[in-house]
Structure 1
């Protein structure tokens, strides 16, 4: 790889680490893999506000499913 390409990769990693730190400070609950997917979706043109809404709804569904399980099936 060229040094220019290495510099771009380094900058991309640094930018991702900063986004992940912001995510942690905001208590989003997103792990690195999920954050990566969200970033890629935004890069492909998905509206970030719509994406945030979908994530919130998925979490609600997951929370409701967990709460409705019988006690002996709870993790």
Structure 2
């Protein structure tokens, strides 16, 4: 790898670490893998506001599924 490529990789890692720290400070609940996916989607042209809305909706559906789960289910 060239020194220029090494510098780019280092900058990308540093940028990601800063974004991850901001994400944690804002209590987004995104882990590193999910944040990486979101960043890649934005780089591909997905509107960040739409992406945020979709993530919120997915979380609502997940929360509702957990809340509505019958507690008397027994494994077969």
Task: Quickly name the TM-score band, shorter chain normalised.
Answer: over 0.9
For the residues of structure 1 that align with 2:52 and 2:71, how far apart are their CA atoms? 31
- Whether 2:37 is the aligned partner of 1:37: answer yes
Structure 1 length as normaliser, TM-score? 0.94
For the residues of structure 1 that align with 2:61 and 2:11, how far apart are their CA atoms? 37
Unmatched 5+ residue regions in structure 2?
A: none
Backbone CA RMSD of aligned residues = 0.8
Instruction: State the match for 1:52 in structure 2.
Output: 52
2:65 is paired with a residue of what secondary structure?
A: helix
State the structure with more CA Rg.
2
1:71 is paired with a residue of what secondary structure?
A: coil
Q: CA deviation at 1:72?
A: 4.3
Instruction: State the match for 1:10 in structure 2.
Output: 10
For the residues of structure 1 that align with 2:8 and 2:62, how far apart are their CA atoms? 38
Moved >2 Å (runs of 4+): none
For the residues of structure 2 that align with 1:72 and 1:22, how far apart are their CA atoms? 41
